[in-house]
Amino acid sequence: MALPTDTDSAVPRLIVTFSVLVSLAGITLGFRFYCKHRYAKQLGVDDLLLGLSYLILTSGAIFTAVAIRHGFGQHIWNIKLLKDAITSARIVFTGGAFVFSGIALAKTSICLTLYKIARKKWQRWTLVFIAASVLVTKLLSGIFIFISCTPVQKRWNPLIEGKCWDINVLCRYWSFSGAWSAVTDLALVVLPWSIIWHLQVKRLEKIVLGFVLSLGLLTGIVAAIKTTYIKSSDLENDFTYAAADLVVWESAELGVAIIAVSIPFGRLAVQDYFKRKRAQSVGNTNSQVSGTRCTQPDTSESTMVRRDGNDADDEVPFARQLAKPKAIDGARSRTVSLEQFLREAAEMPGAWRESGGIMLTREFSVGRHRRDVSEEEVGFRAWSPPPASNV
């Protein structure tokens, strides 16, 4: 029987896909780590999980590059040596198991990030359920690769004596896992809107934040497309070529998840860059003018103000809550996470609640050049609680 003569190769799209994913994910993740270092001076558990996911993505790219050298991406009948086809399959199955776990860690990181700003119990429990279900389904997808054959080597070497599950069983489960991943991604698109929409911040800020926090829709689309490439007949008869598209979309799901959860921090980093440039421009202008000038920068960043009766205003930029920002300069200024802020707002019966609770303000910066300026001179007045009634 003559072998097919199809010489089509999936190698170019494998190389392009991993090059783009690793680069973009690395840049956006760098923005995230920069913001966390600038405002929190430390990384959270969600950051560590996302960093580990990126290492898995990078490792997957290395695994794929090695597999390509052994014929991966080509039709199996175009691979000259049988041992190359076996080596290629072993590398791809092993790397695929790691990518499954990377997706689970990335989705868990997304849920942890949203958990920090979730206010209601049902929102938090929904996030916990999503994280746990994705973690279990994805980890099982990787585990089944190694337990579906006895001995395990038979999974990538059909010449070895042993027994394996029907390939249709694996494909059906992988399809279920991909479909469930797409459903949870859709839930993670809707949930951020319910979290931020009732907060007292500008409508434009809500829309922008809701949009950037809902970029997980792209991950869901990728997961849905991936399931269409899970075909048992192709994987069984022409694994080295048929599995290439599956590897592309599986890795794309991981890369897009990392990018989607890191973009909000990239937006914050860009905002801060332009604010510093404007501040430098204002400072250079003021340095040429005698006397003292109080400047009010044009900033659209919303702030959460807490009135706690300590004769000081604690202002917390809302966009920086995800980064757990450092305290603003001042002996009595401090910041809290949005979750803690809202919880305390609901539980503390202090004067700050009676005076309005959460308020939307604008940030002011005072420039000092040739002499010190008192608060009275620039129009600032410390807040103090209303006097107690004698009645």
How does pLDDT run along the chain (391 residues), one tens digit per residue? 445 556 678 889 999 999 999 999 999 898 888 888 877 777 888 889 999 999 999 999 999 999 999 989 888 888 888 888 899 989 999 998 999 999 999 999 888 888 888 888 998 999 999 999 999 999 999 999 999 999 999 888 888 888 988 888 888 999 999 899 989 988 888 888 887 777 666 777 667 777 766 777 888 888 888 888 787 666 777 888 888 888 999 999 999 999 888 887 776 667 777 777 777 776 666 555 544 444 444 444 444 443 444 443 344 444 455 554 433 333 333 444 444 443 443 344 333 333 344 444 444 444 444 444 444 444 444 445 555 555 4
Q: Where are the domains of the chain?
A: 11-274, 294-370
Which of the 8 DSSP states describes residue 385?
Answer: P
In DSSP terms, which residues pair with 313 in a beta bridge?
307
Q: Are strands 303-307 and 313-317 parallel, antiparallel or unpaired?
A: antiparallel
Q: How is domain 11-274 classified at the CATH fold level?
A: Rhopdopsin 7-helix transmembrane proteins (1.20.1070)
Cis ω for the linkage preceding 151 (within 30 of 0): yes
In DSSP terms, which residues pair with 294 in a beta bridge?
366
The whole-angstrom separation of Cα 74 and Cα 6 is: 10
Residue with tokens 């089944």: 144
Contact 1, 235 (CB under 8 A): no
H/E stretch holding 105? helix 82-115
The whole-angstrom separation of Cα 76 and Cα 2 is: 14
The model's pTM: 0.68
Residue 9 φ then ψ, to 5°: -125, 140
